[in-house]
Amino acid sequence: MDRQTVIEFLQREIKSIEEKLKKLAAQKADTDNPRTAWHSQFHLDQERNIADLERYKDRCARVLAALRSSKANGHVHEGSIASLSIDGEENDYIIVREGGAAIGRYSVISVQSPIGKAIWNRRVGETVSAKTPAGVISITINSVA
């Protein structure tokens, strides 16, 4: 996973979300009057959509900030992109302090998660175990960028 490609994806994603938020706000403003049951439900749905998009935008912005501020130093830290073999299956992950969840096609791991805690501050070549809800897993750190 190339850091610059991920940064560019996040920048586009944030811009797209901002455009969607503007459209939703305009739609909501257009239906302010008269108030009917349909309008009330529409407003509730729009407010939920806006709140969901704002949370997603905030998560994208936090991951983007972590990637931009990260310096390669050979161990797993916030903003690292780590290639991990988890029980033999290799994937790339972006490491963040909080809010681990997929963003687009990119996997994000929080250092507060069992996997994140197990790999935090570890170096390439190390193998660690993590106790997850699915059981104990083995994690090998293949690369860190």
User: Which domain CATH number covers 106?
Assistant: 3.10.50.30
**Class of residue 97 by CB neighbours under 10 A (exposed 0-12, middle 13-18, buried 19+):** middle
Query: Would you state the pLDDT for residue 42?
Result: 73
Query: Would you state the pLDDT for residue 84?
Result: 96
Asked if 56 and 92 sit in the same domain, the reply is no
39-67 mean pLDDT: 89
Domain boundary at 18, 37, 69, which?
69
Asked if 90 and 40 sit in the same domain, the reply is no
In a domain, 74, yes or no: no
Query: Would you state the pLDDT for residue 34?
Result: 59
pLDDT beyond 70 at 33? no
Q: From CA 9, how far away is CA 49, in angstroms rounded?
A: 22
Our count of domains for the chain comes to 2
Query: Would you state the pLDDT for residue 118?
Result: 97
In the chain the beta strands, taken as DSSP E runs, fall at 81-86, 89-96, 107-110, 127-132, 135-144
Asked if 92 and 44 sit in the same domain, the reply is no
Asked if 61 and 94 sit in the same domain, the reply is no
In a domain, 105, yes or no: yes
Amino acid letter at 93? Y
Asked if 39 and 87 sit in the same domain, the reply is no
Whole-number percent of the chain with pLDDT over 90? 70
Give the tens place of pLDDT for each residue, 57-107. 999 999 999 999 988 788 999 999 999 999 999 999 999 998 888 998 899
In a domain, 76, yes or no: no
Asked if 37 and 8 sit in the same domain, the reply is yes
Q: From CA 34, how far away is CA 60, in angstroms rounded?
A: 36
Asked if 63 and 14 sit in the same domain, the reply is yes
Kindly report which listed range (30-34, 48-52, 119-123) carries the lowest average pLDDT score.
30-34
Domain of 103, in residue numbers: 81-144
**Class of residue 120 by CB neighbours under 10 A (exposed 0-12, middle 13-18, buried 19+):** middle
0.95 surpassed by pTM: no
